[in-house]
């Protein structure tokens, strides 16, 4: 039986928690073993259960993500953490790095970006397992491995013509939020292809992305031009 990494999701928003669980379960290498709505409950869960990786929100009641991670480090719990937050300020990022977070995701994030975080976690573990004796060369490999993996996960086969076609369509109504399916219908490409390009543009900072919960069904991603892109195009 294939080994699966055990994941604990710590998120006070039930809808975001559900989406994170769906993202985790799309990978055969991971399985969700628990969900908590605050840091205190997460610490209690860790006392009773084995967990390999936590997807940890920052802003939560009772105990926020940073305090939770500080307690985990203090208690010397062997668990890695991917931080999730709506904040993109420098101090929060510095705190996450200081506390040894594997990755730092700013809401809303795409599945592709979430998958990169999971792959980064796996590559980090594999780097440690692949060396018997530590020397400077091996240490440099371990510290640089996640960056290499991140580069490898950059979208392949991105064509400039298609990219410009999608951007031109977004520019026609720069203030409007659009789903991948809406863009695909307008330019005559498949939804899968268009979503890949939209996610690529969002990662580059050309587009904003957010999760739309008001769909009457399964939440979906929607996109619009960034303020910077809108101002330079006008």
pLDDT digits (tens, 9 = 90+) for 92-135: 778 888 888 888 888 888 888 898 888 888 877 766 665 566 66
CATH of domain 5-131+142-152: 3.40.50.2300
Tell me what pLDDT residue 226 has: 81
pLDDT band for position 184 (50/70/90)?
Answer: very high
Band of the pLDDT at 62, cuts 50, 70, 90? confident
pLDDT at 102: 87
Is the CB of residue 82 less than 8 Å from the CB of residue 101? yes
Global confidence as pTM: 0.60
Averaged pLDDT of the chain:
81
Tokens of 157: 């086969």
The CATH number assigned to the domain with range 160-233 reads 1.10.10.10
pLDDT of residue 34: 97
pLDDT range class, residue 81, cuts 50, 70, 90: very high
How sure is the predictor about 151, in pLDDT bands with cuts at 50, 70 and 90? very low
First to last CA, the chain: 57
Structure-token match 């979208």, residue found = 155
Cα 101 to Cα 83: distance, rounded to the nearest angstrom: 6
Lowest mean pLDDT among 6-10, 42-46, 121-125, 214-218: 214-218
What are the sequence ranges of the domains in the chain?
A: 5-131+142-152, 160-233
Mean pLDDT of 69-98: 85
CA triple 204-89-122, angle to 5 deg? 60
Per the DSSP assignment, residues forming a β-bridge with 222 are: 179, 210
Contacts of 85 (CB under 8 A, 6+ apart): 57, 58, 59, 65, 92, 104, 105, 106, 107
Quick one: pLDDT at residue 70?
Answer: 92
Tell me the pLDDT tens digit for each residue of 12-24. 999 999 999 999 9
pLDDT (0 to 100) of residue 215: 61
Whose structure tokens read 């605050």?
38
Residues 85, 104: contact at Cβ < 8 Å?
Answer: yes
Tell me if 9 sits within 8 A of 53, measured CB to CB.
no
pLDDT band at 3 (very low <50, low <70, confident <90, very high): confident
> pLDDT band for position 152 (50/70/90)?
very low
Average pLDDT rounded to a whole number, residues 138-162: 58
User: What percentage of the chain has pLDDT greater than the value 70?
Assistant: 79
Confidence of residue 188 (pLDDT cuts 50, 70, 90): very high
Ranges 2-6, 71-75, 124-128: which has the least confidence: 124-128
pLDDT at 18: 93
């Amino acid at each position: 039986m294939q080994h699966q990494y055990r994941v604990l999701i710590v998120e006070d928003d039930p809808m975001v928690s559900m989406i994170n669980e769906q993202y985790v379960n799309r990978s055969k290498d991971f399985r969700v073993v628990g969900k908590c709505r605050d840091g205190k409950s997460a610490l209690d869960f860790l006392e009773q259960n084995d967990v390999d990786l936590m997807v940890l929100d920052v802003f939560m009641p009772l105990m926020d993500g940073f305090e939770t991670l500080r307690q985990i480090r203090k208690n010397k719990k062997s668990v890695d953490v991917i931080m999730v937050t709506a904040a993109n300020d420098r101090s929060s990022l510095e705190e996450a790095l200081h506390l040894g977070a594997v990755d730092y995701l700013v809401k809303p994030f795409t599945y592709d970006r979430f998958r990169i975080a999971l792959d980064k976690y796996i590559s980090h573990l594999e780097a440690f397992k692949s060396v018997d004796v530590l020397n400077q060369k091996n240490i440099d490999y371990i510290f640089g491995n996640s960056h290499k993996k991140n580069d490898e996960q950059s979208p392949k086969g991105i064509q400039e013509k298609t990219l410009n076609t999608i951007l031109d369509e977004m520019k026609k109504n720069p203030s409007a939020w659009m789903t991948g399916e809406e863009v695909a219908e307008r330019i005559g490409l498949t939804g899968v292809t268009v979503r890949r390009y939209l996610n690529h543009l969002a990662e580059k900072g050309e587009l904003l992305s957010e999760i739309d919960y008001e769909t009457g069904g399964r939440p979906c991603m929607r996109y619009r031009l960034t303020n910077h892109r809108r101002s330079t195009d006008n």
